[in-house]
Structure 1
């Protein structure tokens, strides 16, 4: 069986869950290995400028120094915010990322037990939706973990999306929790 050189972020997540890590721990580990540059990455640039549709690798991508699970849309295998991309002959700019992939061999070196793990057949994105009564407590737990660092709407949506909670439901939930004032900068 052929094993691709690169795998999307959501496949890497399933790889770590398959070896027994909790989903939260697996996400944290992936954030750390990306931030610490322990795994080679490549991205498919989104947007509509001349760089859109190009695939660029590590030296052409600048990601935040610190990454946390809410920085990613795990279903779509991409960062929520734009990352700087460019190359020596073209301008560097903050661009949307359509797809983030990790080098498979780097993951296997970092997590050797994952080479033989059978990936869960049902992708995380297709898991059943969270029961209605569980949605608000899960959102409250997420917000409490964030402390004074109130997430953006996009971060709230990305986090709850993994539980099958849609954008409209998250927007309704946000009305019951503290929000940053319009134009207020993020803390930290």
Structure 2
């Protein structure tokens, strides 16, 4: 996709703070520090549309962006980071669940995982939840440039087996080399038709 514009719209906690559901929406979810912000920035060819941080757990609101005045990207808070205060963690679950279950223009969720980590129960629960609510999802495995080709192949298989997913349904991605960028865009465009 040729990106002509990409803009931050708003941050929200409650549905009344969401922007109007005027465009098909793609949400980005995953464990803290898997590269959600970096993936979005790479997709829209911008360095700082979405703020990135080396400190996990920084995104604590639902952040909305508009791309080409045609599609909305939504950056969801990362989950699974131990150092986030307990009261903040308790708010995240209901906040994200409300968004995912109530947003009528949501077309799919991009679930992002780090290739160096084996998916845990949080990822399995998240996929089960999406399936239960019939929300389509796209599986993206990031940071592939951090491993050798041999280790990438091994981890790709382990992740697919852990998720009981077809390896062909896991998009391998690297922001550094831009590997998988076209595949992610193709998967998104199929969901917003």
User: Normalized against structure 2, the TM-score is what?
Assistant: 0.27
Larger Rg: 1
User: Normalized against structure 1, the TM-score is what?
Assistant: 0.27
